[in-house]
Structure 1
Amino acid sequence: MTHFSPTTRIAVTLLLILLCAAPTLAQSGRSSGGQGRPEDKGPKPKIARVFGSVKDADSGDALPFASVVVKSLRDSMVVDGALTLEDGTFDLREIEVGRHFVEVRFPGYETLRSEAHAFLPRNPESLTWDMGERMLQADITALGEAVVVEQASVMEMKVDRRVFHVGSDLTSRGGNTTELLENIPSVAVDIDGNITLRGSSGVQILIDGRPSGLAGGAREAFLESLPASAVERVELITNPSARFDPDGTAGILNIVLKKNKLEGISGQLQATYGTGDNHDANASLNYRSSALSLSTNLGWNDRMSFMAGETDRTQFWSDDSTSFSSVDRPGDSQRGSLSGSLRAEWRASNAWTVFAGVNANEGIRDGWDSTFTAEQWTGGALNSLNTEALRVEESQKDTRGGDAFAGFERTFGSRDHKWTADVRRSYNTQDGHTDFVDVSLVRGTTTSEVHTFNAQDTQNRRWLAQTDYERPWGEKGKIEAGLKSTWNVDNSGFDYTEADSLFLSDGIYIPVGLDTVAYSFLYDEQIHAAYFTAGHSVGMVGFQAGLRAEQAYTSARLEGEGNLQSEPFDNDYFSLYPSANLFIETDGENTWSASYSRRVNRPRGRQLNPYLDMSDPRNFRTGNPFLLPEYTNSYEVAHQWQRRKTSITSSLFFKDTRDVIRRFTEADTTTGVLLSNFQNLGRQHNEGLELALMLPLGKTGRLNWTASAYRVVNDGSRLESPFSSSGFSWSSRFFATWTLGSDWKLQANSYVRGAAVTAQGRFNGFATLNLAASRDLPGDHWQVTIQAKDVFNTRRWSYSTTTPDFTQEVWRQRESRNLYLTLQYKFGKLDERGRRGSGNRGDGGGDDFMMD
């Protein structure tokens, strides 16, 4: 049997898809003008022309890459067609004469069908049809006055991304952005707030199209402090173009915040009461005139929750003894945050726009945990020994962060020709302290309590400067180029108790030579990049290619006394990141796309820290300063069929990752201590299929269903203890909404995550269901929402680990079944005169392929 490489398989798949699409292209191309007509009449002359522009009816903004199709009035056969340019214009020439109409489609908008027009050879004036500006209405449901607009279409497919409109997501109302992301297809958030995309943790988070310093070292804290009500949409980009930073092997989640595009003053107040002492409130205020825009947001939340967990471990010791331990770990935690933002934009003239803003957040995370361990030994010197022990843990953690940014946009005659630049400075600090008390519960023990502590102070500073230039390339293309530099400085200070050696006595580890240790780990990183992309369209086919070049300088070192200091670990490297996109819209209903990009996951922080952390006597941790970046080649082929309000989207994806960074755990068979560190795997493959279905549920409902299945292959052949693992996993999510009368709306969403293979074991999967209902109160300003989260209390994480030295089964669950009551008040009277907008810098969505 002949074996083909993954790259060859992807190339063959792309070729087959293009071949399958070719007949349709031929039918819809200009040469098919006489299709469906009797051949004995002969071809009609192609001397007609139709031109115009397509815009958003609400904002007045141009709609690039809308599908414009000329159809025969007699039989609705396709005569000609094209996609609008970046400025929303279209110009179709050499159209055959006859009676035709024009159909305009764009995802997320209602289809527009024009009046009929007769192109008659005997009337030369009729051969040129100026359609003027054609306005597309968003597929939306308006509430009250022009104060609120909610998207009825939750998902839409764009050229290089999928866009999820979250304004109508009742099950996230009153929550934070982390909880909001739990409802995005292909995205998973675990019990600790870690985000994965299609099973991979290499996700880059952008805010309004820019990497925020707040989303760096304290990303989880930042997302928990950002109210979900401040988010307009989430864009999922699995194969970003070379314009984007290559960080994040799984792709990019771009969180676009709400902005006011109408003139006047508007605002919103919202408060939520939840069972189990879970409360939050937020307020927003917006002002916009023809020259000035101001927006501000303030959010507060306070969450109390309990956590439970159990671990069953079998461990094999060097003296032929085996221990069986059962660990019960209940706990409570309090998480609170206060966040605020202010942004200003001044449109100095038609050509110049200046913007600036600040963001800040402050949070706490306190915890109280108790760990009860019962352990039994068989064989060896400890045969028949039974012990019980308790560890009590109390922790406090304070976080602070903020950033400030400023920039400008300069246009040259049109929105398609512009130069932009911005600078950003951000900071993050985290101060944490944990106290431990270990107590033996063995009857009659003489072993004393052991008191230890662990403190960490982390500071991050980031500076960023970026400039971009765009201009048209001919009539149907665009070129982009830009420069970007980032400087990161991380300083982590550690202060904790450490022993010269440990021995096990009556179930707890007794330290010998206990002392206080203090040291700092410093990490400096500079990345300088340049990129160039070029895109064009021919008929209904659009393509883009790009290349990004980056030079990285990194240095890590320890600062302390004795063995707590080291020479710098330097790792400088140069990398190229190509990207390519292909987009084909055949007939106004079918859209094909293919994409490729190269991505990187850079090791940072604790992954690189070489010092052995022994603050937990049963679990030691260390980093690896010799870690290499992991590189991913990502391929994807997608198809979308859409007719009216029904669409089906499917995509095949394949990722080939080299030097995968993973945490590995090994057991010391002499002491029983587990040691965790980070290493580079040899390789990982990830390939799968994703489906998305959107369809109406009667006249007042809508269903969005997504499912994905993928296979992961881990190759650890380059490690000292080689291993390999592979397995399939799947997930499914549905989101259903119904409108009852003019005041009530009901929603339900469910997420099921199947079992998955991990580097050293298996994740067992889980399922959850959320319900919500909202009602508009009289007066068109008030709305009340009630939610039930995790109705059946099934949001539980469980996994198994198997190594030659130990096996274990673990489950953990954080409080997730709660009821929430949210009251929302919206105010302001907006004037539609300000709807023309000020460009992509205002909404963060300006990095679409060949479009702003």
Structure 2
Amino acid sequence: MKTLLTFLLLFAGITLLAQPGKGPRGEGPRERPKIGVVNGKVVDAISDKPVEFATITMLSQRDSTVVTGGVTDKKGNFLIEEIPVGVYVVQITFIGYDVFEQRAIRLSPRGSTTHEFGTIKLNPSIAALGEAEIVEEKPMMELLMDKRVFNVDEIMGTQGASATEVMETLPSVEVDVDGNISLRGSQNVTVLIDGKPSALTGASRQALLEQIPASSIERIEVITNPSAKYDPDGMTGIINIVLKKNKLQGFHGNVSVAVGTGNQYNGSFGLNYRNKKVNVFTNYSYRSSDRFSIRNTDRISAFEDTEIMLDQAGEGERTRQNHTIKAGTDIYLSPSSTLSFSGNYNIGMGSDRDSVFNDQVYISGDPYSNFRRDTDSNNDREGYDLNASFTRDMAGQDHQLVADFRWSSFEGGSTNDISQTDLFTDQDLFDTFIESEFNENTDESQVLVAQVDYTRPLHGETGKLEVGYKSIVRDLLNSFYGEALDSTSMEVLPQLDRNNTFDYNEGIHALYAQYGRKIGKVSFQGGLRAEQVFTTSILVDTDEMFENDYFSLFPSGYFTYELSQNDEIQLSYSRRINRPRTRQLNPFPNYSDNLNLRRGNPFLLPEYTNSLELTYSYRTKKSQYVVSAYMQDVNDVIRRFTSTDSLGVNTTTYTNFAGMRNYGLELIINTKIAKWWNLSVSGNGYRIENDGTNVESDLATEAYSWSARATSTFRFDKGWQVQLMGFYRAPEIFPQGDFSGFSFLNASVKKSILDNRGSISLNLRDAFDTREFQFSSFGTGFTQEVYRKRQSRFLTFTFSYRFGKLEAGRDRRRGGGGFEGEREGGVDDMMD
């Protein structure tokens, strides 16, 4: 904390000393009489949010011919130079907005060769709804310099869905049968909530994301090559889930209910009140689901002169209920200062029933064992995030100081009753055979985040300097306690060889600085982040301790060149890290399936990635095309490693392979084919080279794979919308096996009702029930085939309604009348 206070004082000093730089003003009229300059800024008339990629067209007023033009940058600014003198009509257009037009713009050496528009406000083409509602149509995807932004409300088919199911629709993102998230084929991706790490996304990340309703999410940001300002965690990048926080003034709210097959029941309710002094918001959501799963495993285990064949068939049923509450307030202390508080509380419970039939025989045909293992589990979880933030805007655009503190806590656990029935009449299974057992597993985590960021414009606001400090302190505790019926004494005794407590502590302290500037058609940004990490792993029951402290540097760089007003090329580089998770470190096995054990490795090292990406983007009035070529070079890559013993029991752990390289090419196309038809197509092809020869000599593979996604949206009269989304993942080879690939199709229909204040929708996910997974794996002494299937075809009906009287908030910041509270998402968008 002393270090944190030191930097707080340092940044406070910077605030007092920093004075708005005057910077060079425009050069004024140029000496050459045939050159003119036009500039300005384009914003949304409702939210005052900058409109990026708006098209500015300059037409000759005499004959309406197009003379020149340009597009706005990510801040909504535009600058058009080298304009012949004359009289012009200026038109500004962007999809979803009414056309802005101004005539009689005269550029003349006798008058002025410069025309400054100031701030131009574009009106959304979907106007006010009655007296109560203002609706702004957003694009489904927005491509910014360092990230892709997906507006969830514009993604049809996600009504009544979870955060996990929303991610299934995003380009580059994939979700497997267990809810594990991959970005460009890798699961080493960092997931943030409101731009910050949380205890809620720790070891139980999949469980949480499956229970966050899509109705509570405003947008999802995918950052494939983050700059030094961002945490370097995650080999392939960052996925940031931004929860809803309304921005319009007045009192308003929304309610949504959904019901579907699989006993799906979802609902949400939100309220917001805002005036010029304060913004208060709250949101409650509920999600309930019930789904089945099936799996089959065929394995041959060989040791010495004996071979055993396992035929394992399992089926399960999982129920979940979840409640989430978010509330907060923004207090506008002055036109330049905002104090914000928010909290997020999540509670969930559920149950699992799982039955596995295990039939083992010698290859000769003699029986080895035949038993059934039944597990009844009850799960509960509870967690919360508390956040406090102070934002100070100083004179000059993007001149800002932000201090942010977050405390989050999570506690969850499960109790498991296990019974095992011998299907032979008079034969024990193994020497360690037990007929029944009971165990309890608990997870606890606390995370403290303290962060200070300072941003200052330079060079007349064509450049920017950003510096900051951040500390993350984590304390994670996992404990297991089990009792079993002893087959000899027939007493219930503790399982002393299995009971354990694993305590993991981590402290990450980082400083970063980055500088960027735009000179003509060239934009560049360079940064460096320095981190010192302290980690300690303690096995409480055995009194063992493992320490791993390390210092790392993470450089990053961006270089962008505007080829023309419609296309640009960008080269970016970043160094990243993937730190081992607690389940990958905890060495005590998980015995939920006693023939397939899982255990961690406390000696795991973090893996480091050098990521290079070249992107070309081209945009027209109706379409946008993005092509990215990327390369990732990974050292000490963390991989699963499976081995077998003489009883035919497989144990999966984690180890550091020597390295991995990933080369890929990604294509994204968004186009408006007709006024009523939008199409989005994306594809990702890649080559992966794995080097695990440091573990076993034959663990080296080279493989190609690819995936493709297409989303087609049709908008008809009277508020009707239809959307189809298809996805395909090709087969892929891994160091110890291969994956067969999968595909699915989603379909949805939506209708606006009640004077456009409400809507009803019908969503069908995995229409042909094709979402299933097949794996083949091999290793020393075993080969196996695995089939897994979770219930994935659901039909959901959703009703939503908006109410209240809304008004567009007016920006009150200096120079533009703005107010910090108007920025997107308030304090929860500190990472933007």
What TM-score does the superposition give when structure 2 sets the normalisation length?
A: 0.89
Could you say which residue in structure 1 is the equivalent of 2:724?
748
Asked if 1:427 is matched to 2:409, the reply is yes
Q: 1:496 Cα shift?
A: 2.2
Could you say which residue in structure 1 is the equivalent of 2:159?
173
Could you say which residue in structure 2 is the equivalent of 1:398?
380
Q: 1:146 Cα shift?
A: 6.2
Cα 1:515–1:556 change in 2 (3 A) is: closer
Q: 1:532 Cα shift?
A: 0.4
For 2:185, the aligned partner's letter is: G
Of the structure 1 ranges 548-557 and 701-710, higher mean CA displacement relative to structure 2 is found in 701-710
1:110 and 1:644 in contact (8 A); partners too: no
CA distance in 1, matches of 2:269, 2:199: 23
Could you say which residue in structure 2 is the equivalent of 1:786?
762
What CA deviation, in whole Å up to 9, does each residue of 1:538-582 have, x standing for no partner?
A: 11221111110000000111111xxx221x211110000011112
CA distance in 2, matches of 1:422, 1:305: 40
For 2:48, the aligned partner's letter is: G
Q: 1:490 Cα shift?
A: 0.9
Could you say which residue in structure 1 is the equivalent of 2:540?
559
Asked if 1:465 is matched to 2:423, the reply is no
Q: 1:106 Cα shift?
A: 7.0
Cα 1:65–1:390 change in 2 (3 A) is: same
Of the structure 1 ranges 718-727 and 467-476, higher mean CA displacement relative to structure 2 is found in 718-727
CA distance in 2, matches of 1:360, 1:62: 32
Q: 1:103 Cα shift?
A: 6.1
Alignment of 1:499-518 (within 5 A): 517-518=498-499
Could you say which residue in structure 1 is the equivalent of 2:9?
none
Could you say which residue in structure 2 is the equivalent of 1:545?
526
Asked if 1:635 is matched to 2:612, the reply is yes
2:340 and 2:827 in contact (8 A); partners too: no
CA distance in 2, matches of 1:617, 1:682: 30
For 2:158, the aligned partner's letter is: S
Cα 1:572–1:701 change in 2 (3 A) is: same
SS at 2:784 equivalent: strand
Q: 1:131 Cα shift?
A: 2.2
Decide which of 84, 98, 107 is 1:119's aligned counterpart.
107
Q: 1:157 Cα shift?
A: 1.2
Could you say which residue in structure 2 is the equivalent of 1:618?
595
Decide which of 672, 683, 686 is 1:710's aligned counterpart.
686
Asked if 1:315 is matched to 2:291, the reply is no
Alignment of 1:653-732 (within 5 A): 653-668=630-645, 670-732=646-708
CA distance in 2, matches of 1:760, 1:301: 38
2:296 and 2:314 in contact (8 A); partners too: yes
Q: 1:385 Cα shift?
A: 2.9
CA distance in 2, matches of 1:170, 1:784: 11
Cα 1:363–1:470 change in 2 (3 A) is: same
2:46 and 2:809 in contact (8 A); partners too: no
Could you say which residue in structure 1 is the equivalent of 2:438?
453
SS at 2:632 equivalent: strand
SS at 1:125 equivalent: coil
What CA deviation, in whole Å up to 9, does each residue of 1:670-700 have, x standing for no partner?
A: 2222122110011111111111111224321
Could you say which residue in structure 2 is the equivalent of 1:230?
216
SS at 1:348 equivalent: strand
Asked if 1:842 is matched to 2:832, the reply is no
Cα 1:291–1:802 change in 2 (3 A) is: same
CA distance in 2, matches of 1:69, 1:777: 37
1:217 and 1:428 in contact (8 A); partners too: no
Could you say which residue in structure 2 is the equivalent of 1:535?
516
CA distance in 1, matches of 2:382, 2:790: 24
1:81 and 1:539 in contact (8 A); partners too: no
Could you say which residue in structure 2 is the equivalent of 1:734?
710
SS at 2:111 equivalent: helix
For 2:396, the aligned partner's letter is: S
Decide which of 334, 337, 359 is 1:352's aligned counterpart.
337
For 1:332, the aligned partner's letter is: E
1:785 and 1:823 in contact (8 A); partners too: yes
Asked if 1:809 is matched to 2:785, the reply is yes
Could you say which residue in structure 2 is the equivalent of 1:134?
120
Could you say which residue in structure 2 is the equivalent of 1:97?
85
1:735 and 1:748 in contact (8 A); partners too: yes
Q: 1:407 Cα shift?
A: 1.1
1:143 and 1:150 in contact (8 A); partners too: no
Decide which of 193, 197, 200 is 2:179's aligned counterpart.
193
2:389 and 2:405 in contact (8 A); partners too: yes
Q: 1:459 Cα shift?
A: 0.8
Decide which of 462, 469, 488 is 1:483's aligned counterpart.
469
SS at 2:208 equivalent: helix
SS at 2:768 equivalent: coil
Q: 1:299 Cα shift?
A: 0.9
Q: 1:176 Cα shift?
A: 1.7
Q: 1:49 Cα shift?
A: 3.4
What TM-score does the superposition give when structure 1 sets the normalisation length?
A: 0.87
2:629 and 2:665 in contact (8 A); partners too: yes
Q: 1:493 Cα shift?
A: 1.3
Could you say which residue in structure 2 is the equivalent of 1:342?
327
1:496 and 1:516 in contact (8 A); partners too: no
CA distance in 2, matches of 1:847, 1:277: 38
SS at 2:200 equivalent: helix
For 1:323, the aligned partner's letter is: I
1:395 and 1:432 in contact (8 A); partners too: yes
What 5-or-longer segments of structure 1 have no aligned partner?
Answer: 1-42, 503-510
For 2:372, the aligned partner's letter is: L
SS at 1:330 equivalent: strand
Could you say which residue in structure 1 is the equivalent of 2:419?
437
Could you say which residue in structure 1 is the equivalent of 2:356?
371
For 1:842, the aligned partner's letter is: G
Could you say which residue in structure 2 is the equivalent of 1:330?
315
Of the structure 1 ranges 704-713 and 97-106, higher mean CA displacement relative to structure 2 is found in 97-106
CA distance in 1, matches of 2:192, 2:93: 29
SS at 1:220 equivalent: helix
2:327 and 2:344 in contact (8 A); partners too: yes
Cα 1:630–1:253 change in 2 (3 A) is: same
CA distance in 2, matches of 1:843, 1:584: 31
Could you say which residue in structure 2 is the equivalent of 1:10?
none
Q: 1:302 Cα shift?
A: 1.3
Asked if 1:578 is matched to 2:560, the reply is no
1:209 and 1:844 in contact (8 A); partners too: no
Cα 1:239–1:776 change in 2 (3 A) is: same
What CA deviation, in whole Å up to 9, does each residue of 1:368-398 have, x standing for no partner?
A: 011112222125xxx5336432111111221
SS at 2:718 equivalent: coil
What CA deviation, in whole Å up to 9, does each residue of 1:489-511 have, x standing for no partner?
A: 11111112589999xxxxxxxx9
Q: 1:488 Cα shift?
A: 0.5
CA distance in 2, matches of 1:353, 1:278: 40
For 2:511, the aligned partner's letter is: A
Q: 1:440 Cα shift?
A: 1.8
CA distance in 2, matches of 1:344, 1:456: 37
Could you say which residue in structure 2 is the equivalent of 1:19?
none
**Number of residue pairs the alignment of both structures matches:** 787
For 1:49, the aligned partner's letter is: V
CA distance in 1, matches of 2:749, 2:367: 56
CA distance in 2, matches of 1:283, 1:530: 40
Could you say which residue in structure 1 is the equivalent of 2:3?
none
2:471 and 2:509 in contact (8 A); partners too: yes
Cα 1:551–1:501 change in 2 (3 A) is: farther
Of the structure 1 ranges 328-337 and 150-159, higher mean CA displacement relative to structure 2 is found in 150-159
Could you say which residue in structure 2 is the equivalent of 1:418?
400
Could you say which residue in structure 2 is the equivalent of 1:281?
267
Q: 1:243 Cα shift?
A: 0.6
1:498 and 1:516 in contact (8 A); partners too: no
1:69 and 1:588 in contact (8 A); partners too: no
CA distance in 2, matches of 1:513, 1:416: 61
Could you say which residue in structure 2 is the equivalent of 1:26?
none
Asked if 1:183 is matched to 2:164, the reply is no
2:132 and 2:803 in contact (8 A); partners too: no
Could you say which residue in structure 2 is the equivalent of 1:159?
145
